[in-house]
């Protein structure tokens, strides 16, 4: 076990449960980095055990993913960093029904994602996968979520960068 894995294993466990619009559920075992007392925000850690390829971005094994979940925002985000601490990207999920509780985070994925890269590239993803009969309130929520990210992406990414750095254990990255 690497020293990074040992540090991660020492953190409290938290279960992330993603619900999809079509009723499916995915579960992810993560480690809790930070949680506000009022349950409005949590930051979780997941370290990629093997290389991944996500929408044109190569993420090597050992990529550190800091997931940020807010009960009062129309999105969550995975902030990807390499072992040297460099940001590889931000993967935003437009979502609703986020609940941060003791030992658990639940949220509903509203299909649309935004990929933001350090070079300034912003890609809105998966809009073509939205159901044809999308409820108007969900469509409006998706529009609000996209606007919250795309109106001032540099400010949003700077906030996430700072929050991730504050939450990560000091020796996790080289």
CA distances from 128 to 95, 117, 155 (A): 16, 21, 27
DSSP string, 12-39: PEEEEEEEETTS-EEEEEEEEEEE-TTS
Q: What global pTM score does this model have?
A: 0.95
Q: What is the pLDDT of residue 5?
A: 62
Q: What is the pLDDT of residues 26-40, one digit of tens each?
A: 999 999 999 998 989
DSSP string, 72-84: TSSEEEEEEE-TT
For the domain made up of 3-167, the CATH class stated in words is mainly beta
Q: What is the pLDDT of residues 98-132, one digit of tens each?
A: 999 999 999 999 999 999 999 999 999 999 999 99
């Amino acid at each position: 076990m690497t020293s990074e894995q040992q540090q991660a294993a020492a953190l409290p466990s938290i279960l992330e449960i993603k619900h999809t619009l079509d009723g499916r559920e995915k579960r992810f075992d993560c480690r809790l980095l930070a949680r506000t007392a009022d349950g409005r925000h949590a930051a979780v850690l997941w370290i990629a055990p093997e290389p991944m390829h996500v929408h044109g971005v190569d993420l090597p094994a050992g990529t550190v993913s800091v997931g940020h979940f807010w009960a009062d925002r129309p999105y969550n985000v995975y902030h990807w960093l390499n072992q040297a601490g460099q940001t590889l990207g931000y993967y935003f999920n437009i979502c609703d029904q986020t609940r941060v509780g003791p030992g658990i985070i639940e949220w509903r994925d509203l299909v649309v994602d935004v990929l933001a890269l350090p070079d300034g590239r912003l890609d809105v993803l998966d809009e073509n996968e939205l159901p044809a009969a999308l409820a108007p309130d969900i469509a409006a929520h998706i529009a609000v979520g996209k606007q919250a990210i795309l109106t001032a992406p540099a400010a949003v990414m700077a906030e996430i960068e700072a929050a991730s750095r504050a939450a990560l254990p000091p020796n996790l990255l080289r």
